[in-house]
Amino acid sequence: MTKTVHRVKLTLRGIRPPIWRRIEVASDTTLGDLAPVLEAAMGWLGGHLHMFEIDGVTYGTPDPDWDTDDLDENKYRLGDVLPTVGAKMTWDYDFGDGWQHNVLVEAIEPAATDVLYPRCLAGKRACPLEDCGGPPGYADILAVIADPSNPANADLRDFVPLDYDPEHFDVAETDVDMRSERPLEGW
């Protein structure tokens, strides 16, 4: 059973107005198990490479065919690498698009016995579309939404789903996604 939870704020870099989530996750979660929780919290679909960076040290998925200095993310727990309120790390998702997220520990508290973790507490705005080209590509997507009839946006019109709303965010939907992405032992 989890003894403590980390409340963290996850903010996507390079996007204005900000896209962010506030979540609680068990402090004993490994970074390897945290990655799909963060993906689900933001709304990413998964399937892309990722890594964590804390004070110049990188943590990632080991690959025997690739020589890297990354530490094995499956051997390090959130509570050990970010042990105090105010501790920070960067989480990179999809190296091709270059999505970088700030992760800030806002609180470390005893786990409540009647709460299912991980859970989302709050957030703002929808996740950018997967594979849209990072922050510059997302800016192009927003231009298409703002003026779909502009001939300059013709190439991207078919890429943007008609129902995509960049302002949409729903805590309950995010909770379901965070828990269904990868069931974690003890949750």
The distance from CA 171 to its chain's CA centroid, rounded to whole angstroms, is: 14
- Helix (H) or strand (E) run with residue 80 in it: helix 78-81
Which pLDDT score, from 0 to 100, does residue 181 have? 52
CA 88 – CA 80 distance, rounded (Å):
12
Residue 113's region, left for phi above 0, alpha for psi from -120 to 50, else beta, is alpha
Nearest alpha-carbon partner for 53 in 108, 109, 106, 95: 95
Indicate the residue type of 147.
Answer: D
Cβ atoms within 10 Å of 96's Cβ, excluding its own: 10
Which residue's entry shows tokens 């890297």?
Answer: 68
Residue pLDDT, tens place only, 55-107: 999 999 877 777 778 899 999 999 999 999 999 999 999 998 999 999 999 99
Residue ranges, the chain, pLDDT below 70: 1-2, 181-187
Nearest alpha-carbon partner for 22 in 40, 36, 41, 49: 41
4-125+169-180 topology per CATH: 3.10.290
Which pLDDT score, from 0 to 100, does residue 115 have? 92
Which pLDDT score, from 0 to 100, does residue 67 have? 73
Contacting residues for 9 by C-beta, under 8 A, at least 6 apart: 20, 21, 22, 102, 103, 104, 106
Contacting residues for 106 by C-beta, under 8 A, at least 6 apart: 7, 8, 9, 22, 85
Which pLDDT score, from 0 to 100, does residue 183 have? 40
- What are the extents of the domains in the chain? 4-125+169-180, 129-166
Q: Which residues pair with 126 in a beta bridge?
A: none
Which pLDDT score, from 0 to 100, does residue 105 have? 98
The whole-model pTM stands at: 0.90
